[in-house]
Amino acid sequence: MPLRQVRVDDQFWNHYTSLVRDVIIPYQRQVLNDELPGVEPSHAFENFRIAAGEAEGEFYGEVFQDSDVAKWLEAVAYSLTTHYDPALEKAADQVIDLIARAQQPDGYLNTFFIGDKADLRWSNLTEDHELYSAGHLIEAAVAYYQATGKDQFLKVVRRYADHIDSVFGSEPEKLKGYPGHQEVELALVKLFQVTKEERYLNLAKYFVNERGQKPSYFDLEYEQCADKKRYRNPREWGLKYSQAHLPVREQTSAEGHAVRAMYLYAAMAELAKETRDAQLAEVCKTLWKSVTQRRMYVTGGIGSQAYGEGFTVDYDLPNDTSYTETCASIGLIFWAQRMLNLEADSRYADVLERALYNGALAGMSLDGKQFFYVNPLEVWPEACANRHDHRHVKTTRQSWFSCACCPPNLARLLASLGQYVYSYGENEVYVHLYMGGKADFALLDTKVQLEQSTDFPWDGKVDVTINPAKKREFTLCLRIPGWCRRPHLSVNGEKLELAPIMEKGYAKITRLWSKGDRVRLVLPMETERIYAHPSARMNAGKVALARGPLVYCLEEIDNGPVLASISLPRQAAFEASFVPDLLGGVTEIRFEGFRTEKPHGDELYTTTPPEQIATSIRGIPYYAWNNRG
């Protein structure tokens, strides 16, 4: 459901949506403009000033630095959609004016390649991120047009898209290339959906279908490059790194860089729906199983290793050296939403929810000013400081990064939160996520308002009030999460049997709805032990704890040193209670467990069995870890 039609008003999520408006967007604007001392320089705005001829100096930053500005503008657009702010709109307009002034006469727009590097355009698609950055500019422009109705930015990116279309394609005079880092594919579909210009949709299809064809464009490009030093990354990563090892329709497993994979798969799912491509949809389902059944962490994190920031092999899910990039979980959310649009199956919403509440949300501190790039499931600070294979794991969140893709990505996700909650068709509406607020939509000739009230994720009781403009028969589809064992459902106090109305994880209630009809869904939240597949050898003898959509963790601040010495008895009972003054208000989990103590002396090895000492254990939601020092 479009963001404009949804208002999130939720006791849990209001903190984050207001944080985006009041803290994150202003903070990131200052960072992008290099106004904060002690924070990693960005230079992103200055790069546009230099490209526009309005400042002296040289480009600074990553080759994809422009994308940080684009993602910030996209977050601004979503924020303006839900909470209009004339001062913020004015600030965004000034940045858009600057971007327009930097655009080249032929439509080209990438500050790294404007000026003395102009002759290098489109010559290293493998690494140079030109199409990636273009995609983020397009997504931002579409969002800003939808938020404000202003078309200056949209005209800028249309000129850029037209330029790209003149360069790439299957025609003899064009380059047969495609992005090293996917992003423009999904953006072009969005641009088509707004403009109805078929060329943009066709270009997106071309980029998807050309990927992985033989001979490899990336290999040919490298062979033809006179200066091999331009290739910054080692070639041994190979074509799997950018999912270019096979044509996408022949791929059966998730490979390579996790974020690139997610952006590709999201675009494939969007194209499959837009073009009714059944074969492409089946490929998406196959890849979905590969990711979620064999290569995903319990938190919804993906990407098992720092080398290549990506996937390895099935069931290789190390907890202490995982990469699980924040952007990868966000990308998984993007993909899950589009799989839901392809097929209303709760398995997609279950993963979306898990990645949102755990894998993505953990990437930001509770005050919105510090961020994780990498989200491990186990941290040993001394090892992180001294072991080469742990160096990518940070023990505290950072204020910013030289490669700052994650902070603005989080901002645009949280600012657009409402668009993930519902979807609807001619005669049915789906509720995918449970959070307080209202949605306004029309089913054919009837306007309907739907209102949710809930204390999710701490309590599983959800009240849904239906307010049609007139009596209307339609189907309300409520997701029954996979983590819920004994749900209860009633309409206006009358209990409904779930089994006869369940379809693909949704309870489908078809009736003549009247204003004020109330549906109550109760999703009991029990603390659950989550067991990994036996092939995930690093999790042998271990369990994860989860309650509702939240995965829990232990911290030394609550439980003392050497967390690995703590064990959970099979018969342990869990006590869950909400603590208002803990981490902004969370439900903690307490239980009685054991701590392994050394039997005597300082021997590293001994034949004497260790002692098991009874101890009280406290667990907190994983997303909130490392917010107390």
**Residues designated as active site:** 309, 405
Joined together, the tokens standing for residue 295 give 């290569």
Strands 502-503 and 506-513 turn out to be: antiparallel
Q: What are phi and psi of 587, to 5 degrees?
A: -90, 120
Residue 560 structure tokens = 């003392």
Residue written as token pair 């022949």: 250
d(CA 573, CA 301): 28
Greatest pairwise CA separation for the chain in angstroms: 80
Look-up: residue for tokens 């510090």?
A: 370
Tokens at residue 361, please? 């949300």
In sequence order, what DSSP letters do the residues of 538-565 get, joined into one string? GGTT--EEEETTEEEE--HHHH-S-GGG
Tokens standing for 287?
A: 């890849």
Q: Which tokens sit at 491?
A: 């309409």
Helix (H) / strand (E) element for 593: namely strand 586-597
- Residues 473, 513 contacting (CB under 8 angstroms): yes
Q: Say how far apart CA 338 and CA 546 lie, in whole Å.
A: 26
Q: How many CB atoms sit inside 10 A of residue 463's CB? A: 14
Q: Report residue 353 as tokens.
A: 């929810």
Element of type H or E holding 518: strand 517-522
- Which residues, at least 6 apart from 608, have a Cβ–Cβ distance to it below 8 Å? 599, 600
User: How open is the CA angle 592-593-599, to the nearest 5 degrees?
Assistant: 135
Backbone angles phi, psi at 366, to 5 degrees: -65, -20
Contact 394, 362 (CB under 8 A): no
DSSP-based helix, strand, coil % in the chain, nearest 5: 40, 20, 40
Torsional class of 71: left (φ above 0), alpha (ψ -120 to 50), beta (otherwise): alpha
523, 487 contact by CB (below 8 A): yes
- Is residue 79 within 8 A of residue 88, CB to CB? The reply is yes
* Cβ atoms of residues 553 and 619 within 8 Å: yes
Instruction: Read off the tokens for 106.
Output: 């032929």
**Cβ(6)–Cβ(452) below 8 Å:** no
Please, what is the angle between helix 25-32 and helix 406-415, to 10°? 150
Tokens of 232: 């910054």
* Helix 278-294, helix 346-354: angle, nearest 10: 50
Token pair in block for residue 601: 């002396």
Q: Which two three-digit tokens encode residue 274?
A: 């837009």
